[in-house]
Structure 1
Amino acid sequence: MNESLESQRLISLAAGVVPEFTPDQVVYAAAEAGFNAVGIWCDLQTWTNERTDKVRKALAETGITALDIEVVWFHPGEPIDTHDRFVDIAKSIGAKNILCVSSEKDIHETKKRFKHLCQLTNGSDISVVLEFLAITEINSLAKALEVVDGVAHPAGGILVDTLHLQRTGSCAHDLVEIQQERLKNAIEYKNQLFPYIQMCDASEALQDDSLEGVLEDALFLRELLGEGELPLKDVLQAVDGSLPISLEIRSRALMEKFPKLQDRANVVFQSTQQFLTSVK
């Protein structure tokens, strides 16, 4: 593990960078590359107690942190306890955050489901973060804030992804204003309103605004930090300098150029170190 990186902040290899591999394999590869944190992908339909044991063992052997576990996706009509097991798994592996998105058309239903999940974390240090992105009903920073403020649970937070921040019409200045408003009103959260951020680079503008184009952009066209046009330095300056970073670099180009798990993890880590050093 890279000691200088560890002393600064948690830097995590997001699960979406390496979707072809099992969570325990990703843990070992992230640690070998130098990351001090990792993201865990959890499909409740295939997740078993054996997988929990393997991930927990991998985390214990490497000493790195499970920054988040994803993804809880709220859908209309499903029982409210559909995703309860996420909290149990997060507690078992020591994950710091549970990542949620919502396709509930009624924002009050999103609030109800989000509050339920937050309440299940009582007695733990887990945060439940709501991510906003163009393809879901919570498709703006303002809507995510409305949910989190409406629920007002100390575990609730917002996940900012630099790509989605740009694509949904917000910017680093909005993050600064929100945080200043909370300080002014003395609003307290168990953890920060933004417990961590997801980072990638990309083109400044969306090339194809069709649904297919938006999905292609989010799932396959992200770039390594510093190789695109997003105002990443502004985002870093807008948040706490110790805030954990998850490298959400979903990229078809990376997958094709680096089909091996370790090679891909290595290049993401090395390029991230270079970028963070360059913006200090």
Structure 2
Amino acid sequence: MPRDYSLSHLTTEGLRPPEMLEVAARTGYRYAGIRLLPAAPGGLAFPLMVDPALRRDTRAAMAATGVGIFDLDMVRLDARFRVEEYLAFFEVGAELGARVVLVAADDPDPGRLVASYAALCEAARPFGLACDLEFMPWTRVPDLATARCLVERAAQPNGGIIVDALHFDRSGGRPEQLVGLPRDWLHYAQLCDGPAARPTDEAELIRAARTERWLPGEGGIDLAGLWRRLPDDLPVSVEVPHQRRIAELGHERWAREALRASQRLIESL
């Protein structure tokens, strides 16, 4: 069975969802991910929850291209999290046929964080949405072990973990740690590359993750070791933001090169 590839929001950051879907179709992706809420205060997002015209245009682009929406970006769990504030987010996700909500964790209270994550999963489940926790070294869930503990404690049938190749490497992850991870926790994974040397400064970790990732195969991350331990049929989100190269090549050429590099790496395993 052919593997499904999804064009991540960050790989073509700046494009509105309809234009992103058109680029995804022309460059060979089956799915795309869209950012409905900012990753950080002031960050770029397209809140379709409050923009009916953009939502209508996005649905029209989906129908015209045949490209589906895979994931919704993102929900941040912090001390102020209130699950009732996300009803419209879930409704838009269901309307677009999305499968997964990307979740980040910023709450310093471990017990409250587990409760918030469980509440999010429970609220999203009627809309057909899984909630995949993304561990990132600068967040309150900095690594796979912490993410696994949180998902186990929440004990939700639509809970899960997303393995981002860059975050996995920068958090000190080892491919063998993925062995035995419950299959029903894995809904997709994010693929990119980066230098073998890991930044030690938090600001540099964040900057590189958001603006300067490398094409798969260009860097020093053990992508082969990582991908060999993930399910063969796991969908791949191609997440390769690189502001300078996107400016030089344009969104469409960069999206195409990112997909081809991802396919070459995975098909060589």
Q: Report which stretch shifted further, 113-122 or 217-226.
A: 113-122
Aligned partner of 2:11: which letter? V
Secondary structure of the residue aligned to 1:101 is strand
- For 2:60 and 2:243, locate their aligned partners in 1 and report how far apart those are by CA, in whole Å: 30
- For 2:122 and 2:4, locate their aligned partners in 1 and report how far apart those are by CA, in whole Å: 26
1:15 and 2:6 equivalent? no
TM-score (norm 1): 0.87
Secondary structure of the residue aligned to 1:82 is helix
- For 1:265 and 1:217, locate their aligned partners in 2 and report how far apart those are by CA, in whole Å: 18
Aligned residue pairs total 260
1:237 and 2:228 equivalent? yes
Q: Name the Cα RMSD after superposition.
A: 1.8
In the other structure, the counterpart of 2:172 is 169
Alignment of 1:191-206 (within 5 A): 192-206=184-198
Q: Any idea what the Cα deviations from partners look like across 1:11-34, whole Å, max 9, x if unmatched?
A: 111001111111121111011101
- For 1:105 and 1:239, locate their aligned partners in 2 and report how far apart those are by CA, in whole Å: 30
Shift in Å at residue 45 of structure 1? 7.8
1:125 to 115, 128, 140: 128
- For 1:251 and 1:192, locate their aligned partners in 2 and report how far apart those are by CA, in whole Å: 32
2:256 to 236, 249, 266: 266
In the other structure, the counterpart of 2:56 is 53
- For 1:265 and 1:52, locate their aligned partners in 2 and report how far apart those are by CA, in whole Å: 23
Secondary structure of the residue aligned to 1:201 is coil
Shift in Å at residue 263 of structure 1? 2.0
Q: Any idea what the Cα deviations from partners look like across 1:26-81, whole Å, max 9, x if unmatched?
A: 11101110111111111378431222222222122211221111011122224332
- For 2:204 and 2:230, locate their aligned partners in 1 and report how far apart those are by CA, in whole Å: 30
Q: Measured at CA, do residues 62 and 222 of structure 1 come closer, stay the same or move farther in structure 2, by a change above 3 Å?
A: same
Aligned partner of 1:76: which letter? A
- For 1:118 and 1:225, locate their aligned partners in 2 and report how far apart those are by CA, in whole Å: 32
Shift in Å at residue 108 of structure 1? 1.8
Secondary structure of the residue aligned to 1:213 is helix
Alignment of 1:1-280 (within 5 A): 7-43=1-37, 46-47=47-48, 48-176=51-179, 178-179=180-181, 182=182, 192-207=184-199, 209-258=200-249, 260-277=250-267, 279-280=268-269
Q: Report which stretch shifted further, 243-252 or 54-63.
A: 54-63
Shift in Å at residue 85 of structure 1? 2.5
Q: Is the 8 A contact 1:167 1:205 kept in 2?
A: no
- For 1:12 and 1:46, locate their aligned partners in 2 and report how far apart those are by CA, in whole Å: 20
Taking only the aligned residue pairs, the percentage that are identical comes to 24
- For 2:259 and 2:81, locate their aligned partners in 1 and report how far apart those are by CA, in whole Å: 38
Q: Measured at CA, do residues 275 and 257 of structure 1 come closer, stay the same or move farther in structure 2, by a change above 3 Å?
A: farther
Q: Is the 8 A contact 2:91 2:127 kept in 1?
A: no
- For 2:47 and 2:69, locate their aligned partners in 1 and report how far apart those are by CA, in whole Å: 19
Q: Any idea what the Cα deviations from partners look like across 1:202-232, whole Å, max 9, x if unmatched?
A: 112223x222211122112210010111111
Q: Is the 8 A contact 1:206 1:217 kept in 2?
A: no
Q: Is the 8 A contact 1:72 1:86 kept in 2?
A: no
Q: Measured at CA, do residues 21 and 51 of structure 1 come closer, stay the same or move farther in structure 2, by a change above 3 Å?
A: same
Secondary structure of the residue aligned to 2:83 is coil
- For 2:101 and 2:196, locate their aligned partners in 1 and report how far apart those are by CA, in whole Å: 29
Q: Any idea what the Cα deviations from partners look like across 1:96-118, whole Å, max 9, x if unmatched?
A: 11001011011222222211221
- For 1:163 and 1:172, locate their aligned partners in 2 and report how far apart those are by CA, in whole Å: 13
Gaps of 5+ in 2: 38-44
- For 2:33 and 2:165, locate their aligned partners in 1 and report how far apart those are by CA, in whole Å: 17
Q: Report which stretch shifted further, 96-105 or 73-82.
A: 73-82
Aligned partner of 1:192: which letter? D
- For 1:115 and 1:15, locate their aligned partners in 2 and report how far apart those are by CA, in whole Å: 26
In the other structure, the counterpart of 2:41 is none
Q: Is the 8 A contact 1:42 1:69 kept in 2?
A: yes
Secondary structure of the residue aligned to 1:257 is helix
Secondary structure of the residue aligned to 2:102 is strand
Gaps of 5+ in 1: 1-6, 183-190
